[in-house]
Structure 1
Amino acid sequence: MSSSSTETFVLAGGCFWCLDAVYRRVRGVLDVRSVYTGGQTEHPDYESVCSGTTGHAEAVVVTFDPMIVPADVILDLFFTGHDPTTLNRQGYDVGTQYRSAMFPANEQQRTLFEQAINKAQPLFQDPIVTTIEEPQKLWEAEDFHQDFYGNQPFNGYCQVIINPKLAKVRKDYAVWLTH
């Protein structure tokens, strides 16, 4: 498949395990990678990012085929898969590493992301605090974090935090899911 038939978004919405679990179940999503981005530290690792001192966010790189799943569905799923109204927090996860952020690769994506925020705002009582940040170097998260839910579905975090998010996605986006 040629690269011209794919699109890639870099999105941060709290713990990357949650968005990773959502996007891996979507038809037309070709790859999902958990990464650290948006910070100033070279070669960050999970421990340093969790300290809140690196400036990095936990994010996912989602590569998809827009002929199978439209970009607006990928972005709608982003706003369904986390709470974009809480600043630097997702549930029990607190800190800038859990911020809601979008990292556009170009001006077209920036416009698309701005439109997605405006489209999603009426769905929330509180203001959306998702930031659109300049793209920065992506640092791949450790192997342990890649497809965390798929590899550890009975982990307590998966059962308590991820399963309810997946249930919401299944309810609202079943037509786009593979399983």
Structure 2
Amino acid sequence: MTDSLPMITLGGGCFWCTEAVFVRVRGVVDVQSGYSNGQVQRPSYEQVCTGTTGHNEVVRLTYDPAQVSLRQLLEIFFTIHDPTTLNRQGNDVGTQYRSAIYFSTPEQKLEAELLIAELEQAAVFHGPIVTEVLPLANYWPAEDYHQDYYEQHPNQGYCAFVVGPKVAKLRQTFAALLK
């Protein structure tokens, strides 16, 4: 069934954070942590962490538009990370943590650009949005131990202090969209 559903790939800092949020959203049928838009084929986590491959830590979302719209997914995305910081989210610094929307269709690109323009017009953030909006390229799934990381390690330091608050923000801000 998921073969016919749309996918969008988002980079919002560490993929553990982004994955932990989107697995809780109604209509999101699959979330896969991975790497995209870099030059190396089949990169490893260690390679991506060097910052030399050009890859971004991302989540690839497969979603059912009858249950959740792309617009709603993008609104969640812009709420759970800071799209105004170039190549960083909090203490995570490097090009692999850049804010990005990697689209698969022209409609996804248009939706992303329209929402960014609305957020900029409304001056929602303290600075300009630096989220790149590009076609998805050279996607590769992250290693198995990165998948469902927060679910498996909720008390690990990073999970408790960085991921947990993002999940709490989702629950508070988007309760109507939770599974």
Return the TM-score normalized by structure 1: 0.95
- Aligned ranges for residues 162-173 of structure 1 at < 5 Å? 162-173=163-174
1:52 aligns with 2:51: yes
Q: Counterpart of 1:71 in structure 2: which amino acid?
A: L
Q: Counterpart of 2:59 in structure 1: which amino acid?
A: V
Name the stretch that deviates more: 91-100 or 164-173. 164-173
Mapped partners of 1:65, 1:90: distance in 2: 28
Deviations 1:73-111 (A, max 9, x none): 111011112110100000010000000011111211110
1:159 aligns with 2:160: yes
Match of 1:142 in 2: 143
Q: Counterpart of 2:155 in structure 1: which amino acid?
A: F
- Aligned ranges for residues 91-102 of structure 1 at < 5 Å? 91-102=90-101
Match of 2:75 in 1: 76
- Aligned ranges for residues 1-179 of structure 1 at < 5 Å? 1=1, 3-4=3-4, 6-121=5-120, 122-178=123-179
Deviations 1:1-60 (A, max 9, x none): 3744x2210111110111100000011110000010010011210111000000000000
Unaligned stretches of 5+ residues in structure 1 = none
Deviations 1:137-176 (A, max 9, x none): 2111000110111111111001110111111111110110
Q: Secondary structure at the match of 1:9?
A: strand
Name the stretch that deviates more: 114-123 or 49-58. 114-123
Q: Counterpart of 1:135 in structure 2: which amino acid?
A: L
Number of matched residues? Answer: 177
Name the stretch that deviates more: 116-125 or 41-50. 116-125
Residue 108 and residue 87 in structure 1: after superposition, are their counterparts in 2 closer, same or farther (change >3 A)?
same
Report how far residue 134 of structure 1 moved. Answer: 2.7
Cα root mean square deviation, aligned: 1.2
Unaligned stretches of 5+ residues in structure 2 = none
Q: Counterpart of 1:25 in structure 2: which amino acid?
A: R
Query: Identity rate of aligned residues, in percent?
Result: 50
Asked if 2 retains the 8 angstrom alpha-carbon contact of 1:39 and 1:56, the reply is yes
Return the TM-score normalized by structure 2: 0.95
